[in-house]
Structure 1
C-alpha cells in the first residue's frame, strides 16, 4: 500500500476485555508499589514469593514485531524478552508480522482493545515516516497508540567516499557547491529516514543532489565505497564496520550526541545545523485503549530490563544506544519526528500520489 513519491519511483480482530482505570491518586500509589516490587523482582536471585504489583499479566505477553526475524527491531525485542519474563512473571513471546515496511503488523496492534498483553515493538520509520509518505497507512501513530518506552536509538550519519576532499560539514558544503548537476546521494530506500534526513540537509544548506535509492542500507553503503555515488546518509550502526575500517569517511552525526565509537566526529548541531536530526529508533507501544495504570506498569518493567547489563551489552553490540526515559519522552519524539518529516516532504516538493 505504499504511496508514490513524485521525485522518485514508487515506494514501497481480536477481542480482549477492557480493564477498568483507577483514579489518579490510586494510580500513583499503585505505580509506586509496582515500581518497588518490580525492582525487587529484577534482582538476580530474588525469590518467587514476592507480593503482587499493582498490575501483572494473567497470561503470556506478546511482543509483536512488524518485521521479519533478524533485523534490529526484532533483535531488540529478543533482547528484552528474557528480562520481561522474569519481571512480569509470565511468558513473553515474539510474534513477527512483517509486511509493507512494518505497516501490516502496526495495524494489527492499532486495532486491539488493549489489556496489556500485546505490545508493539516498532521502528521509527514505520511510526513516523510511513504515515507521511503513504496515502492510507491505516493507523495514526499518535491517536492509536500509547507510548511505553524508548528502547534504543542509532543516529544516521553523513558518509562520503574517502576520495571526497571533505572531513566536516563546512568542507563538504564547499565541495558540493557548484556540483549540483552531477552530484547524487544514496539511501536505503525511498521514504527512508536516510533519504529524508539527507533531503533535510539539502534544504538547510541550500545545496542540491539527486537521490539514488537502493534496496537497503548495505547496498547504499556499497555504492559509496565503489564511488558509484559519492555520498550518503546511512544508519550509523549499519555503516560502523565500513567507517571503522576506513572504507567510508564520516562527516557528521545527525543525532543529539556524538558516537561512543567515533568520538572525534561532531554532531550536526555542533557544526551549525542544530535542527538536523535523523534517528533510527525502536520503541514499545500499547494500543490506545490500554488503561494508563497498565501502561505505567509495563513502562516500569521495561525500564528495569533496559538497565540490565546483559541487555545493554547485547544492544550496544549492534551499535545502538540503550535509551529508556519516560513515556512522555517517547511521545514527544514521535510527535517531533512526524512534524519534521511532514515538513521535509512539503518543503522538498516530494508529492505522494
Structure 2
C-alpha cells in the first residue's frame, strides 16, 4: 500500500512538473545583445531596402539594435554562407531571396551548403512581381497579340536579362516553356543595362521586376503587356496577369524571406517569426515597402519551408529544361 502511494505521488509530481518544464523550454526568447541582419546584395536594391525597414522596427520591438550588413558576391552565396556558418542563437539572420534560396542550388555545384538543410526558415518578408515589357516598335498591344507574334515568328525577338541565372533570365524562360514560344536571350551585367537596351530597342522584350521598370512604363518608353503575380498589381491595375491570359503556370514572383542558421531553438525561431509578422502587419511598414515597389508578405516558419520546397522544384525544372548555366 505504501509503495502504491509513493508511486501515485511520484506520478502526480511528475505531471505537475511537466507543464513547468515545458514552459521553461518554450519561454519567449529575449535577445540580450545586438542582432546582425545579413543582406547578400549591395545597398539600395529592394532586398536591402526591405531589410532596413524591418530592422528599424524589429529593434524597437526586441529592445536591441538590429544592424544590416551587406555581404555580397557569387550571386548572393557569400552572404548566405556567412549566416550558415554563424552560431544558431538568433543573433545572425539573413534576408534570403528567390535566387539565393531556391535557384542558386541548381546553378552552383560547389556552394558548400544547402539552403534547404543548412538554414532555419523564420518567415516571408516581401514579394515583387515581374512585368512583361516590350519596345514600342513591337507590333503587339496586348499579351494575346504578343503570343501570336511569337508563334508566327519564332526566335525573331530577343529579350534582355540581368545575366545568366538571374530572375530576369529564369522568369522569361518559364514563360517560354509554358507558352510554347521562342525568344533569343541576351544577358547583360545587371538588369539596369538590359532595361536601357529594351528602351533603346537593341532588345525588344524584358520581364523585369516591376519596381525597376515602372518609371519606364509610366513614361511610355516601353509598353507593358502583363504582370506575373497571382493578382493584378496596384501599381498597374489595368494590366492583366499571366493567369488571366491562360498562362497560370507562368506565374512568378521574386520574394524575400528571413532565415537563420540551421539548428536554431524553436522558441528563438518563433519569437523572431512572430515579431516579423507583427511588423509586416503595421500599415506604416506596408507603405514604406510599397514605396520601394514591394508587397509585404508574411508567413509562419512552416509555411515558408513549404514555399521553399515548391519554388526549388519549380526553378529546378526551368534550369534543367532551359539548360541554364552560370558564367
TM-score scaled by structure 2? 0.89
Deviations 1:117-145 (A, max 9, x none): 11111222111111111121222111111
Asked whether 1:328 is paired with 2:302, we answer yes
Deviation at 1:27, TM superposition (A): 6.7
Superposed CA RMSD: 2.1
| Greater mean alpha carbon deviation, residues 228-237 or residues 162-171 | 162-171
Deviations 1:298-318 (A, max 9, x none): 001111111223322211111
Other-structure match for 1:278? 252
Deviations 1:56-102 (A, max 9, x none): 11211111111222222111111112211111111111122111121
Provide closer, same or farther for how the CA distance between residues 30 and 310 of structure 1 changes in structure 2, counting only shifts above 3 A: farther
Other-structure match for 1:302? 276
Residue 176 of structure 1 is aligned with which of 150, 168, 178?
150
Asked whether 1:108 is paired with 2:82, we answer yes
Give the Cα–Cα distance (whole angstroms) in 2 for the partners of residues 142 and 328 of structure 1.
Answer: 13
Residue 136 of structure 2 is aligned with which of 146, 162, 174?
162
Give the Cα–Cα distance (whole angstroms) in 1 for the partners of residues 19 and 25 of structure 2.
Answer: 10
Aligned ranges 1:21-100 → 2 under 5 Å? 54-100=28-74
Other-structure match for 1:200? 174
Asked whether 1:118 is paired with 2:92, we answer yes
Secondary structure of the residue aligned to 1:154 is strand
CA contact (8 A) 2:165 2:324 kept: no
Other-structure match for 1:258? 232
Give the Cα–Cα distance (whole angstroms) in 1 for the partners of residues 22 and 303 of structure 2.
Answer: 20
Deviation at 1:222, TM superposition (A): 1.1
Deviation at 1:181, TM superposition (A): 4.1
Provide closer, same or farther for how the CA distance between residues 228 and 145 of structure 1 changes in structure 2, counting only shifts above 3 A: same
Other-structure match for 2:6? none
Other-structure match for 2:4? none
Give the Cα–Cα distance (whole angstroms) in 2 for the partners of residues 255 and 26 of structure 1.
Answer: 46
Provide closer, same or farther for how the CA distance between residues 90 and 350 of structure 1 changes in structure 2, counting only shifts above 3 A: closer
CA contact (8 A) 1:135 1:352 kept: no
Q: Which runs of 5+ in 1 are unaligned?
A: 1-22, 32-52
Q: Which structure: greater helix fraction? A: 2
Deviation at 1:163, TM superposition (A): 2.1
Deviation at 1:167, TM superposition (A): 3.1
Residue 316 of structure 1 is aligned with which of 290, 304, 318?
290
Deviation at 1:342, TM superposition (A): 0.9
Other-structure match for 1:134? 108
Aligned ranges 1:182-193 → 2 under 5 Å? 182-193=156-167
CA contact (8 A) 1:158 1:231 kept: yes
TM-score scaled by structure 1? 0.83
Provide closer, same or farther for how the CA distance between residues 29 and 333 of structure 1 changes in structure 2, counting only shifts above 3 A: farther
Deviations 1:188-235 (A, max 9, x none): 111011211111111112211110011222211111111111111110
Provide closer, same or farther for how the CA distance between residues 335 and 25 of structure 1 changes in structure 2, counting only shifts above 3 A: farther
CA contact (8 A) 1:114 1:286 kept: yes
Provide closer, same or farther for how the CA distance between residues 172 and 25 of structure 1 changes in structure 2, counting only shifts above 3 A: farther
Other-structure match for 1:229? 203
Q: Which runs of 5+ in 2 are unaligned?
A: 1-17
CA contact (8 A) 1:106 1:139 kept: no
Q: Which has the larger radius of gyration?
A: 2
CA contact (8 A) 1:193 1:279 kept: no
